[in-house]
C-alpha cells in the first residue's frame, strides 16, 4: 500500500477498495456478503427513496396526510423499511415553519429513506450548535431564513427518527412525480436546505 493511501490523501473510493481488499485477503470479510451490502446501499437504501416519498406526498394529498400522521407505515407503502426505519416521524416545512433534524447524542438517522448519515450530521459541532443557534448554523450551510420563520429542531433517537417533508418549490406544478423526485436533495429532508426548482443531483 502506498504512502499516499496510508496518509489518507487518496480518493475515498480508492481507500475504500484498498480496505475491502485487505479485509478479504485476511479472511475477515466474505466477498459475497460485502457485495450484498454494497448492492443494498446502492439500490435499496438511500436519499432516492426519501425523494420518492416526498414526491408522492407533493402529488397525492391523501398520501401526504397518512405520511404526516403515521410516517413509518406510509413510507412502507412505497416499499421502504427495515433496520433504522422502524419509527419514523415526518415533519412538514411551510412558509412560516422550518424544521431541522439533529441527533444530539449520536447520529440516529432513518437509513431506509436517507441512506447513511453524512459526516457533517455526525459532527459534534453540528449536533451541539444547531440546537443553540440554528439560524446561524443554517446560514453557514447556505440557507438563509427570514426572521419571521419559526425554526423547530427535532432530536432523533434510537426510538424515533425524524425526516423533513420540504416545501414544494414554486413553478413545479406541471412536473410529474418522477421529475419531482429529481429535485429533492438529502439535505432538504434533514432540513438544512430547501428544494430548488432545478435538480440538485444528490439524491442517489
* Catalytic residue check, 73: no
Cell (9 digits) for 18? 484498498
> Is residue 162 pLDDT above 70, yes or no?
yes
Report in angstroms the alpha-carbon separations of 147 from 28, 96, 100: 53, 10, 16
Report pLDDT digits (tens) over 5-21. 334 444 555 666 777 77
On whether residue 202 sits in a domain, the answer given is: no
Written as nine digits, the cell of 13 is 473510493
**Per-residue DSSP letters for 64-131?**
HHHHHH-HHHHHHHTT--STT-SSEEEEE--SSEEEEEE-SSS----HHHH-SPPHHHH-HHHHHHHH
Question: Which three cell numbers, joined as nine digits, stand for 69?
Answer: 400522521
pLDDT tens figures, 101-155 = 999 998 899 999 998 899 899 999 999 999 999 999 999 999 999 999 999 999 9
Residues 158 and 92 in one domain: yes
Q: What is the pLDDT of residues 171-193, one digit of tens each?
A: 999 999 999 999 999 999 999 99
Q: 16 and 75 in one domain?
A: no
Residues 76 and 172 occupy one common structural domain: yes
Which listed residue (2, 73, 106, 158) is catalytic?
106
Active site residue 96: no
Asked if 158 is an active-site residue, the reply is no
Contact 100, 138 (CB under 8 A): yes
CATH value at residue 186: 3.90.330.10
Identify whether 43 is a catalytic site residue.
Answer: no
Structural domain boundaries, residue 24: 3-43
pLDDT in tens, 67-83: 999 999 999 999 998 88
Amino acid at each position: 500500500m502506498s504512502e499516499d493511501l496510508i496518509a489518507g490523501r487518496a480518493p475515498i473510493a480508492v481507500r475504500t477498495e484498498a480496505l475491502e481488499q485487505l479485509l478479504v485477503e485476511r479472511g475477515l470479510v466474505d466477498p459475497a456478503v460485502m457485495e450484498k451490502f454494497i448492492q443494498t446501499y446502492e439500490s435499496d437504501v438511500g436519499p432516492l427513496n426519501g425523494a420518492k416519498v416526498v414526491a408522492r406526498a407533493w402529488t397525492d394529498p391523501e398520501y401526504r396526510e397518512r405520511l404526516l400522521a403515521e410516517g413509518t407505515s406510509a413510507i412502507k407503502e412505497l416499499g421502504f423499511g427495515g433496520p433504522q426505519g422502524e419509527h419514523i416521524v415526518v415533519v412538514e416545512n411551510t412558509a412560516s415553519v422550518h424544521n431541522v433534524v439533529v441527533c444530539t447524542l449520536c447520529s440516529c438517522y432513518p437509513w431506509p429513506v436517507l441512506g447513511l448519515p453524512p459526516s457533517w450530521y455526525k459532527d459534534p459541532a453540528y449536533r451541539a450548535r444547531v440546537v443553540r443557534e440554528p439560524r446561524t448554523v443554517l446560514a453557514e450551510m447556505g440557507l438563509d431564513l427570514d426572521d419571521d420563520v419559526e425554526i423547530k429542531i427535532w432530536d432523533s433517537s434510537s426510538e424515533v427518527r425524524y425526516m423533513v417533508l420540504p416545501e414544494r418549490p414554486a413553478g413545479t406544478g406541471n412536473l410529474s412525480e418522477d421529475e419531482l423526485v429529481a429535485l429533492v436533495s438529502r439535505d432538504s429532508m434533514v432540513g438544512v436546505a430547501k428544494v430548488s426548482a432545478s435538480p440538485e443531483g444528490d439524491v442517489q
